[in-house]
């Protein structure tokens, strides 16, 4: 079974990426064989389409509500269940895998499409294409087209498998607002060495870029009655931060985990700014404070903390409740902190609460009551023994986010990278205001914190009669209260996207739907039962209307008769 053509085509229009992967396979054997289509896509993406075409007959995937898709599937497979077509396979990716039996000399074309909104992290947008054909491919091609009306400030490609020969197959054409990246290696260029038929193409192909930013109140783009507003202020003073690190030192952290944690903490200590205040709470079944107060990040205190970090050892149980309450207490009783500063708790744990209070709902309530909206809580779950749903709910209920750290060689870098994302708060209490009569269906437009290197995105529908969309942004910066105003002329803005050959339809409307679904699902994590139901119903409605495979929908894939007829593609979540 030979893959004779593999084409990845990505169009990124104003951060919204639409990717189509097409694989063409021929069975050169004289009997029927299994043809497999296996690709990895970013976790942040929603699949929008899949089809198999076998000898000219097309078998499309159909997106349905998860429960009804499951019912249809169960009827078809009353003789036992096979695993779904999509599973999480890494820190950033999930895998889509489907096999179909192909007759001798027959051809099959697999086509998968997915969409995602690229998020700015540490100053860059990143488009990830995972490349793993597992054989030499006669026609192999990756095309990435980028159109950013704000202008492209910086663009680079990166890959984990590039050689000098392969680099010759890479071309990059770029002007003020557009870029085209083409990677088209010949069969010879793909080989690990001339004698063997093994491929070098195995790993990540990355495109990273950033846009130019002129207007202080961000950039507004409009297409067919929908708008998106991007806001990422530059060169603002950084708020001093007061941070308590809450570190799990229970028995399960022993060995490599505690060593990697120590490595990362030593580097994070070096990154603290002199005006920051910090402390450590460590816990197993006992909770210990490094110092009984927050200390300024002087060279002397940082050196003393580094000495403390190096002494950490792991044994015992896991009392998350008392550890977090202790950390909140450290912030509560802190004196002499800068008047305008940002306070946060960063929890790192690899296990479930099994010492002290172990009921996760009680812990969530305790912590929310103690924090009371004053501080942000970030939860890092190390590995797969954590109750990720619990950590996520706790973080989202307290103005922070959760992240899973994957246990591998770069875990210390993952931890450091996370810290860098939250290390430079430059705005608090951001309100993006639009006239009520001008917009509807607005995505989240109030934000607690804005960190340097990220970007705020708000989207919505515009009233048809409006000619000018005025915007007011209110926020607090370190140097004082901030008010920014901007006006977008609807006709002028819509003109930007006319005559662009590679814009996919109503992309801002799809971006709005993607962002709305993502936010509804996120809100449902920390919502009460009744509200949770309403949020999920609305998210389901939009998922079906716009054809997204989200955690609430499934794609039913039907195969030719005589084979296991139906399979399901369902979006996995980090919380399982």
CA distance 549 to 379: 27
Mean pLDDT, rounded, for 521-539: 95
Query: What Rg value do the Cα atoms of the chain yield, rounded?
Result: 25
155/563 Cα distance (integer angstroms):
46
| Three-state DSSP class for residue 364 | helix
What does pLDDT average to over the chain? Answer: 93
Q: Would you say residue 357 has pLDDT above 90?
A: yes
Report the CATH architecture of 2-212+553-558.
Answer: Sandwich (2.60)
State the pLDDT at residue 83: 56
The torsion angle over the Cα atoms of residues 326, 332, 333 and 336, rounded to 10 degrees, is: 130
Cα four-point dihedral sign 526, 529, 533, 538: negative
Would you state the structure tokens that stand for residue 221, as one six-digit string? 């783009």
Same CATH topology for 2-212+553-558 and 241-423? no
pLDDT for residue 67 is more than 90: no
pLDDT one-digit tens code per residue, 407-423: 988 999 999 999 999 99
pLDDT reported for residue 81: 45
pLDDT for 503: 59
Tens of pLDDT, residues 429-451: 999 999 999 999 999 999 999 99
491: enclosing H helix or E strand: helix 490-495
Tokens 């449902």, residue? 524
The total number of residues written for the chain in this structure: 576
Q: Over 50: is that where the pLDDT of 80 sits?
A: no
The pLDDT of residue 74 is above 90: no
- CA 209, CA 205: separation in Å to the nearest integer? 14
**Range with the lowest mean pLDDT among 14-18, 361-365, 453-457, 497-501?**
497-501
Whole-angstrom distance, CA of residue 367 vs CA of residue 377? 9
Q: Report pLDDT for 499.
A: 64
Quote the DSSP letter at residue 381.
E
Residues 473-487, mean pLDDT to the nearest whole number: 95
Question: What is the rounded average pLDDT of the residues 54-63?
Answer: 93
CA 267 – CA 271 distance, rounded (Å) = 7
Lowest mean pLDDT among 72-76, 77-81, 209-213, 558-562: 77-81
For 274-339, where are the E strands, in sequence order?
Answer: 277-283, 287-289, 295-296
CA dist 320 to 136, 386, 391, 395, Å? Answer: 50, 12, 10, 13
pLDDT of residue 533: 96
Task: Tell me how many degrees the CA angle 288-292-293 measures, rounded to the nearest 5.
Answer: 130
Give tens-digit pLDDT for 487-528.
999 999 988 887 665 556 689 999 999 999 999 999 999 999
β-strands 139-147, 566-570 pairing: unpaired
How far, in Å, CA of 38 to CA of 96, rounded?
A: 6
Instruction: Look up residue 499 and give its two tokens.
Output: 């005559």
Per-residue pLDDT tens digits for 152-188: 999 999 999 999 989 999 999 999 999 999 999 999 9
CATH of 241-423, one of 3.30.460.10, 3.40.50.620, 3.40.50.410, 3.40.1080.10: 3.40.50.410
- Token pair recorded at residue 436: 């009520």
Map out the domains of the chain as residue ranges: 2-212+553-558, 241-423
- Strand 46-54 to 107-117 pairing: antiparallel
Categorize the per-residue pLDDT at 288 as very low, low, confident or very high, splitting at 50, 70 and 90.
Answer: very high
Six-digit token string for 366: 């305790």
């Amino acid at each position: 079974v030979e893959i004779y053509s593999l084409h990845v085509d990505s169009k990124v229009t104003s951060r919204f990426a639409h990717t189509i992967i097409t694989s063409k396979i021929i069975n050169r054997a004289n009997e029927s064989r299994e043809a497999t289509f296996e690709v990895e896509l970013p976790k942040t993406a929603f699949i929008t389409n899949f089809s198999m075409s076998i000898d000219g007959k097309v078998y499309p995937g159909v997106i349905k509500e998860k429960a009804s898709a499951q019912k249809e599937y169960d009827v078809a497979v009353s003789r036992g269940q096979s695993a779904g077509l999509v599973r999480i396979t890494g820190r950033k990716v999930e895998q889509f895998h489907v096999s179909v039996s192909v007759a001798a000399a027959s051809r099959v074309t697999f086509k998968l499409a997915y969409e995602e909104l690229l998020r700015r992290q540490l100053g860059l947008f990143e488009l990830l294409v995972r490349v793993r054909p597992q054989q030499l491919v006669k026609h192999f091609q990756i095309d990435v087209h980028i159109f950013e009306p704000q202008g492209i400030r910086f663009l680079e490609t990166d890959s984990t498998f590039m050689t000098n020969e392969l680099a010759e197959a890479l071309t990059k054409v770029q002007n003020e607002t557009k870029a085209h990246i083409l990677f088209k290696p010949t069969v010879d260029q793909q080989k690990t060495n001339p004698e063997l038929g093994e491929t070098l193409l195995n790993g990540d192909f990355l495109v990273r870029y950033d846009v130019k930013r002129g207007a202080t109140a961000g950039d507004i783009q409009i297409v067919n009655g929908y708008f998106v507003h991007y806001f990422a202020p530059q060169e603002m003073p950084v708020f001093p931060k007061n941070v308590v690190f809450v570190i799990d030192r229970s028995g399960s952290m022993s060995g490599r985990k505690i060593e990697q944690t120590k490595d990362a903490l030593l580097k994070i200590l070096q990154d603290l700014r002199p005006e920051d205040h910090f402390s450590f709470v460590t816990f197993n079944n006992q909770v210990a404070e490094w110092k009984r107060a927050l200390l300024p990040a002087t060279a002397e205190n940082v050196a003393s903390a580094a000495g403390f970090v190096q002494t950490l050892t792991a044994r015992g149980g896991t009392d998350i409740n008392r550890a977090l309450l202790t950390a909140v207490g450290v912030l509560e009783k802190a004196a002499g902190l800068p008047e305008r500063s940002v306070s946060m708790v960063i929890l790192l744990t690899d296990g479930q609460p099994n010492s002290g209070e172990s009921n996760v709902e009680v812990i969530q309530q305790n912590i929310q009551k103690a924090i009371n909206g004053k501080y942000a809580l970030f939860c890092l779950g190390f590995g797969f023994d954590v109750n990720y749903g619990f950590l996520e709910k706790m973080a989202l209920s307290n103005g922070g986010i959760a992240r899973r750290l994957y246990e591998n060689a770069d875990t210390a870098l993952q931890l450091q990278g996370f810290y860098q994302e939250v290390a430079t708060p430059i705005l608090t209490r951001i309100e993006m205001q639009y006239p009520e009569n001008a917009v509807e269906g607005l995505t989240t437009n109030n934000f607690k914190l804005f960190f340097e290197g990220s970007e705020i995105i708000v989207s919505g529908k515009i009233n048809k009669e409006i000619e000018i969309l005025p915007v007011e942004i209110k926020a607090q910066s370190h140097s004082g209260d901030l008010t920014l105003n901007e006006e977008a002329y609807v006709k002028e803005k819509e003109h930007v996207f006319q005559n662009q050959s590679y814009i996919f339809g109503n992309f801002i409307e799809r971006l709005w739907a993607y962002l709305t679904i993502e936010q509804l699902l996120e809100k449902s994590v920390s919502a009460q039962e009744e509200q949770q139901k309403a949020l999920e119903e609305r998210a389901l409605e939009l998922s079906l209307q716009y054809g997204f495979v989200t955690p609430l929908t499934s794609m039913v894939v039907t195969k030719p008769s005589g084979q296991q007829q139906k399979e399901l593609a369902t979006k996995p979540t980090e919380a399982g």
